[in-house]
Amino acid sequence: MKYEIKEDHNFKYIETGGKENLILLHGLFGALSNFEGIINRFSSGYNVIVPLLPIFDLPIREVSVNGLVNYVSEFFVYKNYNQVHVLGNSLGGHIALLFALEHPDWVKSIILTGSSGLFESAMGSTFPKRGNYEFIKNKTEDIFYNKAVATKELVDEVYDIVNDRNKAIRIIATAKSAVRHNLSDKLHQIQAPTLLIWGQEDTVTPPFVGKKFNELIENSKLHFVEKCGHAPMMECPDIFNEHLRKFLVEVCTKEGEVSS
């Protein structure tokens, strides 16, 4: 199912319509296709929102994790949302956490999958290896347990980014900013109910990272997905969506609301 990308006041986003707001934040190399399974499953009961994070469009002095958090905050205010469930994968999880720390009253719940913020293994010390398609193909495949999930289309997208000097510089700057913004001393401040869904074979943010998030975020639940890498919502969408469904129903039921 295709959804229209709306352009409004310098924001680009997908919005499906509905009462409960579920906002999805992608990672460094993320795209709308990363969240296709979530959008298709939850758009009938939730207002699923996917802002396209301006990793390649921010003024260079603002290229950082904080710059992206500010963007999401401005988007929230502009759209006048009344609280959100915020879900983030990889860098998107990091942004979700910082967003929740800055605006706790705006966040109903947090869902993290393969989130950065504590430890992450990047593309490697040789990244970006421009012009080497096989290198980028292998690194993209390494994100997943099932290498077939790294389609040629996905590898081509990553390859094109790496071989665009301007984009590559921004990727590196954002990644370095994420490493500098370690959240280990701040996670105890998170009060929102938090769901952690982690791939058992995640090599970017390995299982011990999920366990550490679970330890440091008091009101959190951790689920591991076997035979799954860094992006469970892509690799194991049915399992991921069932964990997410149960969590959202539980959160909404406690607040006296009904969602499916």
Please write the tens of the pLDDT for every residue from 111-137.
999 999 999 876 444 445 567 899 889
Q: Specify the DSSP class assigned to residue 83.
A: -
pLDDT digits (tens, 9 = 90+) for 191-218: 999 999 999 999 999 999 999 999 999 9
Angle at 258 between CA 255 and CA 260, to 5 degrees: 125
- Please tell me the number of Cα atoms within 13 Å of 58 on its side-chain side: 22
CA distances from 215 to 86, 111, 222, 243 (A): 20, 15, 10, 19
Out of 108-122, 223-237, 245-259, which region has the weakest mean confidence (pLDDT)? Answer: 245-259
pTM: 0.93
- Kindly report which listed range (67-71, 87-91, 161-165, 235-239) carries the lowest average pLDDT score: 161-165
Specify the CATH architecture of the domain 6-254. Answer: 3-Layer(aba) Sandwich (3.40)
Q: Is the pLDDT of residue 238 over 80?
A: yes
